[in-house]
Amino acid sequence: MTSVRVPMLAALLALVHVAGAPSAHADIGCGQPCRGLVLQAQALEGRARYQEALTKYKAAEQADPTASIPLSLAAGLVLKLSTVAPQDAAPQLRDMSRALAERAARLEADDPVAQEVLRMLDDPAPSPLHQPNARAATLMAEGEAAFARQDLKAALARYEATMRADPQYSSAWVAAGNCHYVRRDWTRAEALFRAATVIEPHNAQAWRYLSDALFYQDKRAAAEAMLYKAIEADPSQRPNWRKLAQYRAGAGMPLSSLGLRRGVRVLENADGNYVISLDPQTDAEKTPDHAFRLALGMTEVALRTDDKDRRKSAFEIELESWRQALKIADEAEAKSGEGILDPGLLQVRALAREGQLEAAILLLMFRQAYRPALQAWIAANPGGVKYFIDRFGVQP
C-alpha cells in the first residue's frame, strides 16, 4: 500500500474555492440543504473521515438531484481512496470514481471538479509539482481541514507552517494566498500566488489564481496574460481555458470547444502485449468515425510493439499515431466518398492540414508524459500558445 503525499483534497476544493467568486464557498452549485451537506462532507474529508464524507455527499445528491457538485466531489474522494487501496481493489474504485464524475458531467458539462477527476483518471502520470516532505504534508492536511470548516485563521497558520517546513512546496503558497483571497485582500493574495509561480513555474493553479487576484484589482490585461502562462504550465487543466474563454467572450473573441472524445485506449497487459479498448459510447461500428478510432489504436499498438527498447517518447508515438490514422482516413474517404463526421475529429484533421497537429496534441490533448515535448515546443515558439488560440479560437 502506498501513501498519498500530495493532498488531493486541496486541488479539488480549490477549483470550488476560487472559480471567480471571492468567497470561500459562494459558488457551490446547489442550494440548501444540499450546500450545507456538501460543506459537512468537505470538513469530514479534511479530517480523513472518508466513509462519513461519502455518506454526506450521497445525502447532498439526494437533497438536490440536479446538482453536479456532490457527485464530482464524491468522485474525487473515491479517486483519492483508490491511490491508497490494496492493488486488487484500486481498479474497482477508479471505475466508481469515473462513473460518479461522468454522472456529474452529464448534469453540468463545465463542472470543474468532474473535469479534473476525469483528467486525473485519463492521465495517471504523477504530477510534475514538488512532493512535500512528511511534515509539510501533515500540516497541509490540517490546513485543508481548517479551510473546509471555514476557519481561515487556523488554515492560514497551518499553510504558513507548511511553507516553513518545505519552502519548495509551491502549493502551500497558493493555499495561503487563497486565504487572503477569500478575505478580499487582493494584494496579499497576489504576492503569495506570484511567489508560488517563481518557486514552481509549472504550477498552473498558481498562475490562474494570480490572474484572479489581478482581475479584482482591475488589472484586466495582466490577468488575461497570466492565463496564457497557466495554459503553458499545464494545458490539461480545464479551468484555465474556461477562465480565458470568459475573458475572450467579453472581448468578442469567443473560443469554441474541441469536445474531442479520442474513443480508443491502448492498454498493456501483464504479459507485455497491447490491447485496444474502444469506447462503446463514442460511435457505432462500421462508421468512418469508428474506423478512424480503430486505425488510431492499431497504429499505436504497432508503434509501441516495434519500439521494443522504448526509445520513442509518449508524445512521439501519439503524434505519429495521429498522422498515420489521419492518412488512412483520407485515403479511405477518397475511395468511398464517406469521411469522418465527429466534429472533434474533423477539427483535429483541419488543424493537421494547417501544419498544427503537434500544437493541437500538446495544447488540446495534453498528458503529463508529453511535458518534455511541450517545453521544447514553447521554447521554439515564444508566444506560441497565444498565437495558436488567437488563430484557431479553440479550447479542449
pLDDT in tens, 42-78: 888 877 889 999 999 999 999 999 999 999 999 999 9
pLDDT in tens, 180-195: 999 999 999 999 999 9
pLDDT, greater one: 6 or 326: 326
Phi, psi (5° rounding) for residue 112? Answer: -70, -30
Task: Please report, for the chain, the start and end positions of each structural domain, with discontinuous segments joined by +.
Answer: 8-122, 134-254, 279-395
Cell numbers standing for residue 149? 470548516
Looking at domain 134-254, its CATH architecture is Alpha Horseshoe (1.25)
Inter-residue contact 354 to 217 (CB < 8 Å): no
Inter-residue contact 121 to 236 (CB < 8 Å): no
Cβ contacts of residue 340 below 8 Å, gap of 6+?
Answer: 288, 289, 292, 329, 333, 346, 349
d(CA 239, CA 223): 14
- Judge if 8-122 and 134-254 fold alike in CATH terms: yes
pLDDT in tens, 145-172: 888 778 999 999 999 999 999 999 999 9
Looking at domain 8-122, its CATH architecture is Alpha Horseshoe (1.25)
pLDDT of residue 172: 96
The model's pTM: 0.82
Inter-residue contact 348 to 319 (CB < 8 Å): no
pLDDT of residue 120: 84
Give the dihedral sign, CA 166/172/177/179. Answer: negative
Residue 60 identity: A
The secondary structure of 187-244 as a DSSP string is: HHHHHHHHHHHHH-TT-HHHHHHHHHHHHTTT-HHHHHHHHHHHHHH-TT-HHHHHHH
Inter-residue contact 24 to 152 (CB < 8 Å): yes
